[in-house]
């Protein structure tokens, strides 16, 4: 079968997207998803997404990691899918969609997409790190110089270590630049490597730095290898609410791929 695909990237976090409103893609074939995401034998991407219909919403987001498995929420993926939905005339400048972690809202402003993330009601602070779920589970640790961290090996050691069990967690390394700005590098499970950006990770870092008192601001700038993200939020009685992840969501190219199904 032949499928039209669209490639998008959000601060270097790249995705292959299919319009699956006709439900033609065989979603049970995780091997096909892994093949599509393979950078040598497929199109190449950090993740794969399907845009589908959903009653009561503009659309449904179905997200797969590069290994072919359906995954938890992807913030940059959500922003890119919103941009794709606008390209398909599914939305204009506002979106209300459903994802694996629940409903989301988003606003498109030229090439920027601001995505409302889920509320975070629990932040676990340990001596060496902070842990929370921002739609995906994230481990956040401060380091003196993030550019000197062996993200792949150190991230894998934490991701596969005893701390998070078989499910594992995404791992973020952070260095503070000033009161409002932090440099971030992320190891993503499912990709099993460092990615140029992680939206749920940037969100977790911003909340963690506020929780630790590293910043008093509720609008944080995150420098990631692929660009710049912004996270704004409100402090709630138990955690954080009205959390918005903002950054570019860019169309890269489109094409047709033939798959043996």
Asked whether the beta carbons of 233 and 242 are under 8 A apart, the reply is: yes
- Which run of H or E residues covers position 35? helix 30-37
- The percent of the chain in helix, strand and coil, each rounded to the nearest 5, is 20, 45, 35
Spot the catalytic one: 37, 80, 88, 198: 198
Whether 88 is catalytic:
no
Catalytic residue among 37, 74, 80, 88: 74
131 φ, ψ to 5°? -130, 140
Torsion over CA of 147, 74, 79 and 142, rounded to 10 degrees? -30
Q: Cα dist. 60→2, 15, 112, 122 in Å?
A: 22, 16, 20, 26
Is 198 a catalytic site residue?
A: yes
User: Tokens 């005339």 — which residue?
Assistant: 89
Burial of 155 (0-12, 13-18, 19+ CB in 10 A): buried
Active site residues: 74, 198
């Amino acid at each position: 079968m032949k499928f039209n695909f669209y490639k998008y990237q959000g601060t270097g976090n790249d995705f292959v997207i299919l319009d699956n409103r006709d439900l033609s893609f065989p979603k049970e074939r995780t091997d096909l998803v892994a093949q599509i995401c393979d950078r040598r034998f497929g199109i190449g991407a950090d993740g794969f997404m399907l845009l589908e219909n959903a009653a009561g919403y503009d659309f449904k987001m179905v997200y797969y990691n590069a290994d072919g498995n359906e995954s938890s929420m992807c913030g940059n993926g959500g922003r890119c899918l919103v941009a794709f939905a606008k390209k398909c005339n599914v939305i204009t400048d506002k979106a209300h969609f459903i994802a694996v972690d629940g409903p989301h809202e988003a606003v498109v402003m030229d090439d920027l997409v601001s995505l409302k993330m889920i509320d975070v009601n629990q932040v676990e602070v340990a001596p060496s790190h902070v842990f929370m779920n921002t739609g995906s589970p994230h481990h956040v640790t401060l380091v003196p110089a993030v550019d000197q961290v062996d993200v792949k090996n150190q991230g894998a050691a934490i991701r596969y270590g005893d701390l998070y069990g078989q499910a594992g967690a995404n791992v973020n390394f952070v260095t503070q630049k000033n009161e409002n700005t932090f440099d971030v590098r992320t190891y993503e499970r499912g990709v099993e490597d460092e990615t140029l950006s992680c939206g749920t990770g940037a969100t977790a870092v911003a909340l963690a730095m506020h929780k630790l008192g590293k910043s008093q601001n509720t609008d944080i700038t995150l420098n990631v290898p692929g660009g710049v993200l912004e996270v704004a939020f409100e402090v709630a009685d138990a955690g954080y609410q009205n959390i918005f992840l903002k950054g570019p969501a860019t169309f890269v190219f489109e094409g047709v791929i033939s798959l043996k199904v």
